[in-house]
Amino acid sequence: MIEYPKILKYPILSSTSFKQQSNTLRTEMGSGRARQRQLYDSVPTMMAATWRLSRNQANVFEGFVEIVGATWFLMKVLTPRGLVDHQVRFIKSPFENFKPLGSGRWEYQTSIEIRKYTVATEEQAAISALRPNTLSDFVGSISNSVNNYLE
């Protein structure tokens, strides 16, 4: 799979947003209650993205866009767990919305489809719940609290 060029910047954070397709089917029952169920294991996530690049970076970016076209490629996406590799593709070409900013800088805006946005596993969620403590820090602080109480 083609990888996003390491020498290029990632989309700027202030303009990045995510929108995931609904994955739930809700059926209203005659009794007034409703049934809900999950339809799929994963659904596409759309990401609005903006790049602000120097002249040289813009040349690399344009070449990359020409190569990948509408195919899937691998790019790191910012998540609550940091930058995580995801399979993505351009929904619209960045050439549909780009402009010069002056001083040799260029801005490109587009929408990107993320094949499967990865969420935290059960283990990652449990570890995050303990932060900023590690498990040993947590156990140590409990031991200290008990010892201080007994004194």
pLDDT (tens digit per residue) in 97-123: 999 998 999 999 999 999 988 887 888
Domain that holds residue 35: 13-119
**pLDDT: is 24 or 90 the higher one?**
90
Claim to verify: residue 38 and residue 108 sit in the same structural domain: yes
| Burial category of 77 from C-beta neighbours within 10 Å (exposed 0-12, middle 13-18, buried 19 and up) | buried
Q: Does residue 87 carry a pLDDT above 90?
A: yes
Claim to verify: residue 115 and residue 86 sit in the same structural domain: yes
pLDDT of residue 86: 94
**pLDDT: is 3 or 129 the higher one?**
3
* Sequence letter at residue 22: S
Claim to verify: residue 79 and residue 134 sit in the same structural domain: no
Specify the residue for token string 């397709």: 21
Distance CA 41, CA 23 (A): 8
60 occurs within a structural domain: yes
Claim to verify: residue 35 and residue 90 sit in the same structural domain: yes
User: How much of the chain exceeds pLDDT 70, in percent?
Assistant: 95
